[in-house]
Amino acid sequence: MNVVVVESPAKAKTINKYLGSGYTVLASFGHVRDLPAKDGSVLPDQDFEMLWEVDSASAKRMKDIADAVKSSDGLILATDPDREGEAISWHVLDVLNKKRVLNGKSVKRVVFNAITKKAVLDAMAEPRDIDVPLVDAYLARRALDYLVGFNLSPVLWRKLPGARSAGRVQSVALRLVCDRETEIERFISEEYWNISALLKTPRGDEFEAKLVAADGKRLQARSIANGDDAGKLKALLEGAAYVVDSIEAKPVKRNPGPPFTTSTLQQAASSKLGFSASRTMQIAQRLYEGVDIGGETVGLITYMRTDGVQMAPEAIDAARRAIVDQFGERYMPEKARFYSTKAKNAQEAHEAIRPTDFYRSPDRVRKFLDADQIKLYDLIWKRGIASQMASAEIERTTAEIAADNNGKKAGLRAVGSVIRFDGFIAAYTDQKEDGEQTDEGDEGGRLPEINARENLAKQKINSTQHFTEPPPRYSEATLIKKMEELGIGRPSTYAATLATLRDREYVTIDKRKLIPHSKGRLVTAFLESFFTKYVEYDFTADLEEKLDRISAGELNWKQVLRDFWKDFFSQIEDTKELRVTNVLDSLNEQLAPLVFPKREDGSDPRICQVCGTGNLSLKLGKYGAFVGCSNYPECNYTRQLTSENGGEAEGGVQNEPKNLGIDPVTGEELTLRSGRFGPYIQRGDGKDAKRASLPKGWKPEDIDYEKAMALISLPRDIGKHPETGKMISSGIGRYGPFLLHDGGYANLESVEDVFSIGLNRAVTLIAEKANKAPGGRGRGTPAALKELGDHPDGGAITVRDGKYGPYVSWGKVNATLPRGKDPQAITVEEALALIAAKAGKAPAAKGRAKPKAKAAASQGKATKSAAKPKAKAAAKAKAPAKTKKS
């Protein structure tokens, strides 16, 4: 019997069916060890020794694997075929060696790009050793990310309160978003005009032609800069006679794009389906690991973390056969298509993302997949099969038209195209290739019959004014595309990088566009000022290239770390002498459009409008940066940083208070303001003024007098309880909307309920809360927020929302989600890990600990105690390093 180790239980279940009774397939549940999130886990002064820690959940799983290996004939490591997969195999092997359970047993490493029976059995027949250079590249990347994060983040905390963290790739990605925002702020719009003529042929067909030349000069884009010029040209065309100068019909071929890589799949899923990068990868993971197709569990797509664009020869042959069967002989080109990537530093170590079987069309598997899975599979299948189909044949017609008005001449052009043979476009139901633009000129549609030298009748002259627009903000898809072009990050890191920027609140997403938050812009400006090199695009890309060369065995990973650490440590040390005033002076200049937006009255935006003499400047407080007056405490004017080209404050509140009306009872003024903690309503002035923060979901631009009065008047009396005679009121508190009665609270579902709920409904909710409380009729089980599927041991896994927050539930085991984790984003693997950790800590009946839980706990203890001497040594080694520097 052989033990096979894979990452996930879903993968283990599928592979176990393929291999049969001679194998035991166990899941590691991802990485089994990690660097503890504390200083001293990577020791530069000890040649970058790394202190790994096994948490309690992983310790239990490693014990199960170790116990199985003891009684086995050998170990087969079958984790994913990339750097992370290689690293997991290396970690598992290292832990088992330290446990001394292998005792000379054979150890093999196998990789497969798809989870199908053939792919798995073929891989088992061709084992290899662990790829040491690939593991070295993982170690170098992990050490670099740790050293940057755990040395640069504390500098931010000291010099820039409110900043959360910095990272080797995350900070560069954030810089891209912030640089684009700066471009938008500095953009100056320019006027231009387009002129076209609606013309009619002698046969009565109408078409539109655009003005492209006048007075013997070719007009470039935006050549017509003002209305006067446009008016003159329009007058020329109004009185002109028109004749077709020439007509040209030219055949054009359009070729399909390559199959998806990780980044192009994320881009297509974002633009076509509205999926975030992380959501795309979660769905793709399920399709890769295996889906039950009529009683057979099979992987539907190949491995989804890749920058390769080529398919295996056997996959190309299968695609060509499927093309003939489903579309016909003409749709299969004479020769197979081969692709190469244009992405910087692409490794192309793996196949592109493709279906494992091209005969499994979306229609055939639709009933076995959920809505999101079929949408993503449909994208992958179409792109994969189209990549091997014949070119589309298009006829593009260009008509050059001369206009003559008493010797004043102009030239117009009409362009149209028609598909003569659809080719690969037949694979797409919407008749347009996913993620690709139509050819330039196709926007004209099909032209009517036009003959050279024939006269045309003028129907109408159109003259339209336009203004140039600033570059668009990045979406997740376009940011990933840009990072890939620059060679920043790798396929497996894009989704995590974007998630980190959102979680740190460095960026917000509005209508799928990434908008840098003020704290994100502050962090970027700080790093650009004092750590310039480490947020440069070329530097980050060059470092990625070195990591790739390590994986190819061309560079020594520790030498790369030594070279990086020498300069980086010196830069960190230099910032210790940096004064906060230096930081603020630099940020004031670099972020001037954000900190000092232009005023409508043209006054100096750096002078305080309240006292008239103080200078405004960035200030740093406990909760981050804000703008304050230099005359503090005599003048206590403060405001948040502005955004949207300086026009509005965070959340859309004007910099100065906005008058909403007068409270009829108190006679005091109601104003909408922006404070350090967000937008709020204020009634009156001074210390005794009443204030109410805008509830979640309320936008400042939507606040009117009625809403302001309703909010400032809370709590709202609803009526007296018919049994107790005591008042029931509604309000909004720290934990959301609520009902209050006789000192007790009951939650309301929405903010709107606070203002609209009636007495009968309020009494019902209070009674329901009383019945669920301890001593009532029972608490009841909260409704499931999400169903994740079945546990490998049987029983459904669900996500629910309880009294103390969201949790995953399986049988009698309930495991709370980590703080900040989105309940809708939890994966099966994460849920299983939480359940395993919770079950491992649970006491057995009659107060005795379960043997497995005991062993897991002792394993965790042993690991931590083993790391203690090294940690102490690390602490001792730190002081000499500073002495050497000085």
Q: Give catalytic residue positions.
A: 303
Taking CA atoms, 163 is separated from 197, 390, 396, 674, 750, in Å, by: 57, 53, 55, 20, 32
Tokens 């003409």 map to which residue?
330
User: Contact 729/739 with Cβ under 8 angstroms?
Assistant: yes
Taking CA atoms, 120 is separated from 110, 125, 443, in Å, by: 9, 9, 48
Q: How far apart are CA 776 and CA 593, in angstroms?
A: 59
Tokens 């076509």 map to which residue?
272
Tokens 């938050």 map to which residue?
517
User: Contact 311/348 with Cβ under 8 angstroms?
Assistant: no
Buried b (16+ CB within 10 A) or exposed e, 818-836: eeebeeeebbbbbbbbbbb
Q: Which amino acid is at 420?
A: R
DSSP string, 85-147: HHHHHHHHHHHHHHHT--TT-EEEE---SS-SHHHHHHHHTS-B---HHHHHHHHHHHHHHHH
Cβ of 762: how many Cβ atoms within 10 Å? Answer: 22
Tokens 């490693």 map to which residue?
62
DSSP string, 34-87: B--SSTTSEEGGGTSEE--B--HHHHHHHHHHHHHHHTSSEEEE---SSHHHHH
- Number of H helices and number of E strands within the chain? 24, 34
Q: 513-516 and 241-254: which strand pairing?
A: unpaired
Of 678, 638, 676, give the one whose Cα is nearest residue 656: 638
- Beta-carbon contacts of residue 637 (< 8 Å; ≥ 6 apart): 608, 609, 610, 611, 614, 628, 629
Q: How far apart are CA 856 and CA 864, in angstroms?
A: 12
User: Contact 519/290 with Cβ under 8 angstroms?
Assistant: no
Residue 570 CB burial class (10 angstroms; 0-12, 13-18, ≥19): exposed
Q: How far apart are CA 768 and CA 417, in angstroms?
A: 67
3-state secondary structure of 660: strand
Strand ranges in 276-346 using DSSP code E only, listed in sequence order: 291-293, 296-298
User: Contact 700/672 with Cβ under 8 angstroms?
Assistant: yes
Here the contacts of 847-854 (C-beta below 8 Å, separation 24 or greater) are: 852/60, 852/63, 852/64, 853/60
Q: How far apart are CA 287 and CA 298, in angstroms?
A: 9
The H or E element containing residue 464 is strand 455-467
| Residue 675 dihedral angles phi and psi, to the nearest 5° | -115, -175
The end-to-end CA distance of the chain, in Å, is 60
Of 261, 310, 707, give the one whose Cα is nearest residue 492: 261
User: Contact 711/692 with Cβ under 8 angstroms?
Assistant: yes
- Beta-carbon contacts of residue 860 (< 8 Å; ≥ 6 apart): 54, 55, 56, 59
User: Contact 167/506 with Cβ under 8 angstroms?
Assistant: no
Q: How far apart are CA 546 and CA 549, in angstroms?
A: 5
3-state secondary structure of 773: coil
